[in-house]
Amino acid sequence: MDPITMQNSTTSNLLRISGLASGINTDQIVSQLMQAASQPLYQLEQQKQWLQWQQQDLQDINTKLLTLRDNTLFSMKLQGTYLAKTVSSNTSIATATAGVNAVNGTYQLTVNQLATGATSASTAAIGAYTKNSDGSVTYNPLISSDVTIRLNNNSITFKAGSTINDIVSTINSVSSTTHVNATYDTTTDRLFLITNSTGSSSKIDFSGTDSTGLTFLTSTLKLGFNSSSYTGTAAYTTYTGSGTSISINGTQINISTNEDINSIISDINNNVSSVNASVDSNGVITISSKNGSQVSISGDYDFLLNNLHLPFSQGTDASFSFNGVNMTTSTNNVSVAGININLTGIGSTTLSVQTDTDTIYNSIKSFVDAYNDVITTINSKLTEQRYYDYQPLTDDQKKQMTQDDITAWQQKARSGDLSGNDNLTSIYYSMRNAISGTVTATDGTQMTLSSIGITTGQWYEGGKLYIDDTKLKNAIQNNPQEVMDLFTKITESTTDVNATPGSSSNDGIAARLYYIVNNGINSITQEAGGGQYQLYDNSFLGQQINDINQRMSDMQDQLNTLEQQYYDQFTQLETYMSQMNSQSQWLSQQLNG
């Protein structure tokens, strides 16, 4: 007699006690019956797994196509990719890069003067701190009452008791409007003012500052005029003061009462040989060094600032000639003839602009590598062998196998899941046709990839491309327009004004591939969905999987009902058997009584 068994049913979750009367192993019998009844469910489970493999592999290929489109083809269909230039120069004079519009050739550059910003510094130590015996420093108050100055037409007030750090902070707090930054150097005990831009329009100008403010600037902070050129605007044509004097490069210039501005300028030119001074009809005064050195100006600061309106310091414009044409600019970064130039020093240099063969070659090589990765992957999936004897494993089958056995089996079962797939086949052959097509260059030359050294491998390699490095680099160097046309040309449609670039067989290879790959991405998305980034999968495969899920759920309900029916029948059998056993025992007792 079989032993009595107890089982917690996986379908009904009820604790069943069977075989008490009959001794029959009910659970084993029901399990065998359900095993046979569950075969259609197992088949659905296998079908679902097969569809999921197809969906996942298609989505993986779509990811590769997206990468090819966005990271490679997008730039390869743009003309700028093939217009890369390189510029050689004497970097101590200038460094340069060429834009796409720069014309190959040799250009002469002579730099006469660099653009500079305005700077002003203390001419001596200002006594901003006291050094203590322990080596620390104490910063001293520099003013006993509020002082207001004008800096580049902005009013700045320093509070009584301000230290040098307070002064620096106050100046920097308005640097966005004055365009001047302040720093203090503890080692030299000096204040430095520097403009945040270059060119003759950058100034450190204290015009409008009263006598108290001027004393603070020149005596306390010990600031002074510090530039190679100054431009101001005279406040008068005839000086009406009681007489004063200024010093230029150590030479004193006396200004008399009723002396006009032209006379003052003449005195400067006649007595200071190191500078040129001028005034125009609008009263604009210019004092500049003849050799580019600093021009030292001192004396009556009120007269210099508030009558001549000279700045303490003034930046200079860059002065240079490009192929004999003289130019000035407020910065050392200029763009001429499509060449971006950074002036670095005084002197002459030759700028040589050439096609950047290496950069263009690397772009094309990256394209070939990316194309090969995609075309090889698609071809391998299309031609992958299908092993019909290996079906996807069910969960029950996996329980009877080791992990290594499961992996080996599933690899065979999954093989060929995309063999002959219509979408992949269309994408594959469309890409290969685009690669092998002919493009008519601007000059009428018939161009193919093989024309520039890119050829297809052996037939069994499925369209893989190979590069002849020497031939490709020669084509880039000697026929750059044809190379660009081969990849980027867009044919104007005379019949369809809404034609998509790349849709014509006469378009460039990269433009054509972009169009094909983009359509391929859309078609695969319709078949397999967008993966984890898609909230609702309404793709063809997604709907099939959902349909199978519903069928499996319905079938599982039916199996649960069937299992319960089996157990009900065996329970009824046990009841009958129990009754018969009771009657048999009663009869036996009567006969033996």
Q: pLDDT (tens digit, 9 = 90+) per residue, 177-217? A: 999 999 999 999 999 999 999 998 899 999 889 989 999 99
pLDDT at 514: 95
Q: How far is CA 68 from the centre of its chain?
A: 17
417-458 pLDDT per residue, tens: 999 999 999 999 999 999 998 998 888 889 999 999 999 999
How high does pLDDT run on average in the chain? 87
User: Does the pLDDT value for residue 593 go beyond 90?
Assistant: no
pLDDT at 5: 34
Q: What are phi and psi of 246, to 5 degrees?
A: -135, 165
Non-local (6+) Cβ contacts of 337 within 8 A are 102, 103, 107, 322
Tell me the two tokens of residue 230: 């100054």
Angle 230-235-241 from CA coordinates, rounded to 5°: 110
pLDDT at 6: 33
User: Does the pLDDT value for residue 9 go beyond 60?
Assistant: no
Give the confidence band of 4 by pLDDT, cuts at 50, 70, 90. very low
**How far is CA 232 from each of CA 204, 207, 286, 305, 472, rounded to the nearest angstrom?**
12, 10, 7, 9, 61
User: Does the pLDDT value for residue 492 go beyond 70?
Assistant: no
Segment 349-362 shows an average pLDDT of: 94
Taken as a whole, the chain contains a residue count of 593
67-115 pLDDT per residue, tens: 999 999 999 999 999 999 999 999 999 999 998 888 999 999 999 999 9
pLDDT at 157: 96
CA 509/CA 78 separation, integer angstroms: 11
Q: Which is more confidently placed, 368 or 592?
A: 368
pLDDT at 561: 85
User: Does the pLDDT value for residue 229 go beyond 90?
Assistant: no
65-74, 140-149, 399-408, 552-561: the lowest-pLDDT one: 552-561
pLDDT at 12: 47
pLDDT at 1: 34
pLDDT at 88: 93
Segment 34-54 shows an average pLDDT of: 85
Count helices and strands in the chain by DSSP H and E runs: 16, 29
User: Does the pLDDT value for residue 43 go beyond 80?
Assistant: yes
Is the overall model pTM greater than 0.75, yes or no?
no
Tell me the two tokens of residue 136: 């620390």
Segment 314-322 shows an average pLDDT of: 92
pLDDT at 330: 93
User: Does the pLDDT value for residue 11 go beyond 70?
Assistant: no
Angle 344-348-352 from CA coordinates, rounded to 5°: 90
pLDDT at 494: 41
pLDDT at 149: 94
19-28, 61-70, 98-107, 384-393: the lowest-pLDDT one: 19-28
User: Does the pLDDT value for residue 505 go beyond 90?
Assistant: no
Non-local (6+) Cβ contacts of 137 within 8 A are 129, 130, 131, 186
Give the confidence band of 51 by pLDDT, cuts at 50, 70, 90. very high
Segment 514-534 shows an average pLDDT of: 88
pLDDT at 95: 96
Segment 537-561 shows an average pLDDT of: 87
Q: Which is more confidently placed, 569 or 508?
A: 508
Percent of the chain with pLDDT over 90: 57
pLDDT at 303: 87
In the chain, what are the domain boundaries?
A: 1-37+541-570, 47-81+358-389+419-534, 85-115+320-355, 118-224, 228-316
